[in-house]
Chain A
Amino acid sequence: MYAMLLYIDGGGVVMVKKSDMAQYVNITIDGKNCIGKQGDTILQIARANDVYIPTLCYLSKVKPIASCRMCLVEIQGSEGVVLSCQERAVEGTVITTDSKMLYKHRQNIMKLFGVNHPLECGVCDKSGECDLQNKTLEFDVATQNFCAKESDKKVENWGFISYDPSLCIVCEKCVRICNEIVGESILEVAVGGYKSRIINTNKEADCSNCGECMAVCPVGALTNSEFKYSSNAWELERIPATCVHCSSGCPLYYEVKPSSTANREESIYRVTNPFEFSSLCGAGRFAYDFANKDAKKDKEAFTRALKAFEGAKSIRFSANITNEEALILQKLKEKKGYKLICDEARNYQKFLAAYSMVSGKSLYSGDLATLKDSDAIIIFGTRINDDNPMVKYHISMASKWHRARVAYLHPMEDVSMSKIVTQFIKYEVGSEEGVVALLANAFLSDLRLSDAVKEYLESLDVGNLSAESNVGEEELEGLVNSFEKKNTFSFVIGADLYAHPRAQEIAKVLALFEKYLDCNVILTPPASNALGVALICNLDDEDVNEQSIGYNVKGDFTLGSLGEVDLDMPALNQQEGTLTTIDKRVVATHVALPFGGYVLNDIANALGLETEYTIDYTKELPKRSGYKAVEFDTLNHEFSKEGNDIRGYLLETKDVKIDEIFEEIEELPAYDGGVVYWCNEGIHFTYNTLYKYPASKYLKGSKQFAVAMKISDGEELIFENEKRQYRRIFKLDETMKGTIAITSSVTEPLEVSSFKNYRYTLMKLQEDGVIR
């Protein structure tokens, strides 16, 4: 039944049925019998089996580049050498990875890489972690036989990134990453033989500044311009952590060391990441300095805090907290009867619950790994490049690797997605319930459906919905046709929908896609740990004007890590705990910098909860929501050798009682006039990133918007949303169209990215010229 086959996957050994053997391939590498998946390259199989083959340009997360030529190997019975990074293994091949001949050629290649490479390792940032340095030593290149006339190469600065072409070995990793993963294609190789270099085609407009190129650079050519010359790589201590800026929860390392010989206080020098397998956006990579540094244990403030807690009726908080903190708040609610108010998570919680009612599952089906392997993708109700760059990266990979059809449904066009998107479908603001009904009708009506669903679809007045939402029937037909013959269908949902007046009805219809089309549906959590908060806390709806505690949002008594607060709290890089990611994975983050003040657990203990450490709550996270009784210290922080995300653990999806009741569609609202879209453009998702990526003070809009609102470029506006007043300067953006303007919701600490109400606000021009 089972062959003697040990396929190593994610650190585990898989027994393979004989009938499935065709999916695997057996090869011999340096006398070792190795097994890989059909289609794997020789190098992939070698690495999975712990056989070393030297490389300089190979990067696991992109397709083989094949520029360095170091990974050559010999094949028994065939002349010459082949490149192990790009050749797929063939059953029975016998491979030699090291021989005199291979050594000599690799040594010669290293000599060539060394031609005119400046001998400045002593001051180079990369020294100590440089692939060129390592390989030069490994292949014993002590002298340089070759030389060539040098060309004039100048250092360039691209935002946070500095590029030194004379150090560049043109391995092309940066170009690949920019194109394949980030989806920007901003970096290109300027070919020119030995004068080849990398160019930034978008220097003026500022590239997306993700720093991915810098992360993958094997030499000192692309460096962090702030980090430059500030430390040797080997002096830094790596703290494994999880990025806290959005719900993707990307792995990263805070690299710390004492600030100076005089000041032994540690500071974060830079952020790095396991770049072979995962990525970071600029927020994660550059906005790391948000710690609450100088806080002391202020006993008086602590006493005031306890008093405030005793008198408070509700706790308002942002979803930028750990699972453990969320659990503490929940426990406090249970003990003291507080109302828990979290605008960022509450709507999402209700949306998920409605979704589950139809899907029958406690969680949505989708994850990012499946998204990147999709060949048909719908993006609906989110400006995804701004809301969650990591989701966009995965869509970019799908676009590049699988020629994915990508349909982007939104009221506003997004030029940053143009090379990824294959069909943009514009709908009217507010018409989302109609749009989702039209989608369901287009994709599902030919399937075998339950009576309730059938009835719902039959009741639709398609012509009317189409007219009201402005989504043409032929557009939808084109969409459905283009998805024909596709294998993997993903559906990315975003924050426009969660606070929609008809959110629950929308959620129910969306669940049909998971249920009937086996679709990879991702309900992008609208804030870092919105999913965790939604699963851990019993959140409340009403925010009556009673005495409140604010945790990282404004309250009558405010706790927080940034801004004007009544009691200092640690930032998320000063805490240990877990986060629940978009992938429904529970991952750990660790303390990068110490915190001198009180933490939430101190308050909870003073209020009678009595648990020594915050992370003692990790094993207590609610099992009914899919969490496991796992000790914090046992959580894994590494990827598998094959590059799979095996950090922490995955939430368990529970079965939920199905209740398919669909309401009749409400008349689609009309948003006549100027509309504001709340969107934190340019990767500043939270107040934590503001110091690095200042929020725009502008309300950006088209000429049409300006005319409709009778305003002009540069004019200051005051308007309200959810009883708060916002002050913005109007900026005319010639590239924009229509009557929707865009502005940030987060411009200072204690503001949140996601609101209680719908993400679009109708603006009304008042008599006094002030917009309401």
Chain B
Amino acid sequence: MSKTIFSTWRDEFVDNRYLSGNTCQVSSFKLPRDYSVDKKSKAFIGWDGVAIFDEDVDVVRLACEYAAQYQKYSEACGRCAPGRWGGRILYDLLDKIARGEGSQADIEHLKEVSETMMITSKCEIGRTTPKPILDLIEHYREEFDILIEKQIPSKDYTNEDINYIAKVTAPCMDMCPAHVDIPAYIEGVRDMQFDKSLQSTRQTMPLAHTCGRVCPHPCEDACRRANLDEPISIMELKRIGADFETDHSLPWQHPKEPQPFRNDGKKVAIIGAGPAGLTAAYYLALEGIKVDIFEELPVLGGEVAVGVPEYRMPIEKYNKDIQLVTSMEAVDVYTNTRVDAAKLKELDSEYDATLLAFGTRLSKKVRAENERLDMEGYWGAIAMLDKVNLWHKYRIGSPVSEDLKDKVVVCVGGGFTSMDVVRCAVREGAKKVIMLYRRDEKTIIRNTTYEEYHEAVEEGVEFIFHSAVERIFDEDNKLKKLLINRFELVPSPQGGRAELVKIEGGDFEIECDYLIPAVSQSADLTLLPKEWDIELTSWGTLQTNGKDYMTSRPGLFAAGDCEYGPMTIVNAVGQAKRAASVISRYIYSGTISLNDDEIMEDHLRELNVYDKNEKITGWMQEQPREQSKKLSVAQRVDNNKEVNLGFSGEEALAEAQRCMRCYYISMAVV
């Protein structure tokens, strides 16, 4: 790995140009010193500073190319005066110096225009682009001066072997597993061009209705607005564009004109029509590549369809997301088609690539004594939610109220699935619903969302924290009661994470009719042919390198929960989008590759774009986050009406107005 010669990244100052050996300073950031396995970076420049890894780098051209990248970005924007013209002038002046025609007055003009850009630009990209350029002018002034003095071009001015690879990002985009262009879709709302907003979302996220409703929005933890007051309500703003398309019956708002169906014999099989499978199918089909999706259930949508309840994710809306995918000419779906080992072998030989996206649909046990799957009243969360959802959404099967009405239901969990279980149990008329959780309230909120927990409490779910089931009692194989242990958190003497210690004599019993374990799920791996000897993770999912999503078997890919373990929809979307991109090249070239954009994406994620300590200027504080309206408890508790009514128009516009458009440009020199 090359060392850092110079760095001004995020207010650090490393300058090893005149130092040697062990007096050298090191950068404390995970800067992309190695661009890829076979390519080293010479320099990295971005919103937060500049780092030089190779002393031969032509810094004047570096500054000039960075300005050029801004200029390129600005050509995709150009929506404020300072950015539109400032960027052009910045580039023109730097290029003038780099080609050997500059003057000292140009440097002064550069500084002047930079200052106005940094204070007055509309988005962070205009405000931050001058920073590393000014850093270079300050610390490498002699290299600029010499070109001006001698009127000669910079040393690499015409060198075409050097690659300047740029990527635009934002803290929220970087944190989002699907890297959704969040500032763009928020800008679409702000501009009241809701169709454009949706097109922006769909660049990397086809499930706009879904992730505008049930995403745990990790992006909001990386929202710079939080440094000022409160994060933007990013997730709910996504829904505005999706609802606009649906409400006005618009034609599908694709992020780009779909490529004509290639019909060239190449085809991809996808196992599972959940978020991962649908996403991969959509992006492959956008490129015109043939996709066949095989789904075991009679319905499409995977866990979001049969797991996430109607009151959180109305099927009518999810179906819009699904129809977006199935409307593509290149996509065919086969429901009620379980893929077993024999079938998988068949697909593997018939198709040019196969993506496994079958999720994790086996409920794990709570690990109590006398825990038996065949005990009446013992009901895995996945099976229970399947039954609830198949009935309410598709009228398949029978109502769960026949099982749960006036019953006492205990759920063991702490994640989203367990919340769905208890809230559905309430709606199915259970007399009493108890959630047992090993840890505390704070953790359950962190694992789910504040809203989710709060709404469950409002609906009458009783939460018992620091508790676990020790033993299940039955009579004639019918579940009767549970023995519960209580725990307390004892701070670790080493100062690490507090430990759960059982409280002696704290045990108690709960008489109940149902125990629904919702502690976690695992992948059903029986479809993998033994002889393939597919590599697995230690937690029983398919092993990939987390970048190209190919399993240990060439041509066999995996994305979503079956790769990662039970995780979020947005995680599945992000993985599947990447996998689709890799597959789209693999089926033609037979090799696995990432494009520059993807490589940069991974580098930035490693570096972490969001800086929670950054001080924000240029915006008014105390502009509170908008809260959407929810149905009251009485209006929602006995039915499946969508609880969250979403933003009203004025709320959406006010919230979009809060977004600071924290776009940044980064660029690696290779």
Q: Is the CB of B618 within 8 A of A113?
A: no
**Is A426 on the interface with B (CB-CB < 8 A)?**
no
Within 8 A of B (CB), among A85-115: 86-88, 90, 93, 105, 108-109, 112-113, 115
Beta-carbon contacts of A138-172 to B below 8 Å, as 1s and 0s?
A: 00000001111100000000000000000001101
Nearest neighbor of B77 in chain A, beta-carbon distance: A191
A-B contact pairs, 11 of them (CB 8 A): A69-B81, A78-B621, A80-B119, A80-B618, A105-B119, A109-B81, A109-B82, A192-B75, A194-B87, A403-B243, A421-B248
Nearest neighbor of B631 in chain A, beta-carbon distance: A485
Q: How far is the CA of A112 from the CA of B120 in the complex (A)?
A: 12
Within 8 A of B (CB), among A381-408: 400-405
3 pairs of A and B residues whose beta carbons are closest in the complex: A80-B617, A403-B649, A402-B649
Asked whether A185 and B193 contact (CB < 8 A) given A67-B122, A105-B116, the answer is yes
Asked whether A67 and B193 contact (CB < 8 A) given A112-B85, A419-B248, the answer is no
Q: How far is the CA of A80 from the CA of B118 in the complex (A)?
A: 10
Q: Is the CB of B75 within 8 A of A86?
A: no
Q: Which interface residue of A39, A113, A403, A404 has the most chain B CB atoms within 10 A?
A: A403
**Is A180 on the interface with B (CB-CB < 8 A)?**
yes
Within 8 A of B (CB), among A44-79: 63-64, 66-69, 72, 75, 78-79
**Is B112 on the interface with A (CB-CB < 8 A)?**
yes
Q: Is the CB of A193 within 8 A of B77?
A: yes
Q: Is the CB of B247 within 8 A of A169?
A: no
Asked whether A146 and B113 contact (CB < 8 A) given A82-B619, A87-B619, the answer is yes
Q: How far is the CA of A353 from the CA of B316 in the complex (A)?
A: 45
Beta-carbon contacts of B643-664 to A below 8 Å, as 1s and 0s?
A: 0010111101110010000000
**Is B78 on the interface with A (CB-CB < 8 A)?**
yes
**Is A445 on the interface with B (CB-CB < 8 A)?**
no
Within 8 A of A (CB), among B165-204: 190-193, 195
Asked whether A81 and B120 contact (CB < 8 A) given A69-B80, A403-B240, A422-B248, the answer is yes
Q: Is the CB of B77 within 8 A of A400?
A: no
In the complex, which residues of chain B have a beta carbon less than 8 angstroms from the beta carbon of A185?
A: 193
Q: Is the CB of A90 within 8 A of B622?
A: yes
Q: How far is the CA of A487 from the CA of B623 in the complex (A)?
A: 24
**Is A196 on the interface with B (CB-CB < 8 A)?**
yes
**Is A418 on the interface with B (CB-CB < 8 A)?**
yes
Within 8 A of B (CB), among A170-211: 170, 172, 176, 179-180, 185, 189, 191-196
Chain B min CB distance to A633 (Å): 40
Binding site for B on A (CB under 8 A): 39, 42, 63-64, 66-69, 72, 75, 78-82, 86-88, 90, 93, 105, 108-109, 112-113, 115, 145-149, 169-170, 172, 176, 179-180, 185, 189, 191-196, 375, 400-405, 418-422, 485, 487
Q: How far is the CA of A180 from the CA of B647 in the complex (A)?
A: 18
Q: Is the CB of A170 within 8 A of B84?
A: yes
**Is B109 on the interface with A (CB-CB < 8 A)?**
yes
**Is B620 on the interface with A (CB-CB < 8 A)?**
yes
Contact pick for A105, options B71, B120, B195, B617, CB 8 Å: B120
In the complex, which residues of chain A have a beta carbon less than 8 angstroms from the beta carbon of B192?
A: 63, 179-180, 400-401
Q: Is the CB of A189 within 8 A of B657?
A: no
**Is B141 on the interface with A (CB-CB < 8 A)?**
no
Nearest neighbor of B118 in chain A, beta-carbon distance: A80
Q: Is the CB of B84 within 8 A of A403?
A: no
Chain B min CB distance to A215 (Å): 19
Chain A min CB distance to B292 (Å): 35
**Is B89 on the interface with A (CB-CB < 8 A)?**
yes
Chain A min CB distance to B94 (Å): 13
Q: Is the CB of B84 within 8 A of A196?
A: yes
Q: Is the CB of A179 within 8 A of B80?
A: no
In the complex, which residues of chain A have a beta carbon less than 8 angstroms from the beta carbon of B620?
A: 42, 75, 82, 87-88, 90, 93
Q: Is the CB of A179 within 8 A of B89?
A: no
Q: Is the CB of B79 within 8 A of A191?
A: yes
Q: How far is the CA of A147 from the CA of B109 in the complex (A)?
A: 11
Contact pick for A67, options B76, B80, B88, B243, CB 8 Å: B80
List 10 additional contacts besides A63-B190, A68-B80; criterion CB under 8 Å: A63-B653, A69-B82, A108-B113, A108-B120, A191-B76, A191-B79, A192-B78, A196-B79, A418-B248, A420-B248
In the complex, which residues of chain A have a beta carbon less than 8 angstroms from the beta carbon of B296?
A: none
Chain B min CB distance to A286 (Å): 26
Q: How far is the CA of A68 from the CA of B84 in the complex (A)?
A: 10
In the complex, which residues of chain A have a beta carbon less than 8 angstroms from the beta carbon of B71?
A: 193
Q: Is the CB of A69 within 8 A of B122?
A: yes
Chain B min CB distance to A52 (Å): 19
**Is B478 on the interface with A (CB-CB < 8 A)?**
no
In the complex, which residues of chain A have a beta carbon less than 8 angstroms from the beta carbon of B109?
A: 145-146
Interface size class of B (residues with CB under 8 A): 35 or more
Chain A min CB distance to B115 (Å): 8
Beta-carbon contacts of B245-270 to A below 8 Å, as 1s and 0s?
A: 00111100000000000000000000
Chain B min CB distance to A80 (Å): 3
Q: Is the CB of A79 within 8 A of B617?
A: yes
**Is B92 on the interface with A (CB-CB < 8 A)?**
yes
Contact pick for A194, options B76, B88, B240, B645, CB 8 Å: B88
Q: How far is the CA of A195 from the CA of B85 in the complex (A)?
A: 9
**Is B121 on the interface with A (CB-CB < 8 A)?**
yes
Q: How far is the CA of A146 from the CA of B652 in the complex (A)?
A: 39
In the complex, which residues of chain B have a beta carbon less than 8 angstroms from the beta carbon of A72?
A: 119-120
Contact pick for A401, options B121, B249, B615, B650, CB 8 Å: B650
Q: Is the CB of A194 within 8 A of B649?
A: no
Nearest neighbor of A68 in chain B, beta-carbon distance: B81
**Is B74 on the interface with A (CB-CB < 8 A)?**
yes
**Is B446 on the interface with A (CB-CB < 8 A)?**
no
Contact pick for B78, options A78, A147, A180, A195, CB 8 Å: A195
Asked whether A148 and B80 contact (CB < 8 A) given A112-B86, A402-B650, the answer is no
Chain B min CB distance to A428 (Å): 22
Asked whether A81 and B81 contact (CB < 8 A) given A64-B657, A108-B113, the answer is no
Asked whether A78 and B617 contact (CB < 8 A) given A189-B79, A401-B653, the answer is yes
Nearest neighbor of B83 in chain A, beta-carbon distance: A193
Q: How far is the CA of A172 from the CA of B191 in the complex (A)?
A: 10
Q: How far is the CA of A196 from the CA of B77 in the complex (A)?
A: 8
Q: Is the CB of B649 within 8 A of A193?
A: no
Within 8 A of A (CB), among B618-648: 618-623, 629, 645, 647-648
Chain A min CB distance to B322 (Å): 21
Chain A min CB distance to B374 (Å): 44
In the complex, which residues of chain A have a beta carbon less than 8 angstroms from the beta carbon of B621?
A: 78, 90
In the complex, which residues of chain A have a beta carbon less than 8 angstroms from the beta carbon of B85?
A: 112-113, 115, 146, 148, 194
Q: Which interface residue of B121, B622, B629 has the most chain A CB atoms within 10 A?
A: B622
In the complex, which residues of chain B have a beta carbon less than 8 angstroms from the beta carbon of A170?
A: 78-79, 81, 84
Q: Is the CB of B81 within 8 A of A82?
A: no
Q: How far is the CA of A766 from the CA of B621 in the complex (A)?
A: 75
In the complex, which residues of chain A have a beta carbon less than 8 angstroms from the beta carbon of B122?
A: 66-67, 69
In the complex, which residues of chain B have a beta carbon less than 8 angstroms from the beta carbon of A147?
A: 89, 92
Chain B min CB distance to A394 (Å): 14
Chain A min CB distance to B443 (Å): 34
Q: Is the CB of B92 within 8 A of A149?
A: yes
Q: Is the CB of A403 within 8 A of B86?
A: no
Q: How far is the CA of A512 from the CA of B191 in the complex (A)?
A: 37
In the complex, which residues of chain A have a beta carbon less than 8 angstroms from the beta carbon of B247?
A: 405, 422
Chain B min CB distance to A221 (Å): 14
Q: Which interface residue of A69, A79, A420 has the most chain B CB atoms within 10 A?
A: A69
In the complex, which residues of chain B have a beta carbon less than 8 angstroms from the beta carbon of A195?
A: 75, 78
Q: Is the CB of A108 within 8 A of B76?
A: no
Q: Is the CB of B78 within 8 A of A148?
A: no
In the complex, which residues of chain A have a beta carbon less than 8 angstroms from the beta carbon of B116?
A: 105, 108-109, 112
Q: How far is the CA of A172 from the CA of B79 in the complex (A)?
A: 8
Q: Is the CB of A400 within 8 A of B649?
A: yes
Contact pick for A66, options B77, B80, B647, B650, CB 8 Å: B80
Q: How far is the CA of A439 from the CA of B89 in the complex (A)?
A: 61
In the complex, which residues of chain A have a beta carbon less than 8 angstroms from the beta carbon of B87?
A: 193-194
In the complex, which residues of chain A have a beta carbon less than 8 angstroms from the beta carbon of B78?
A: 170, 189, 191-196
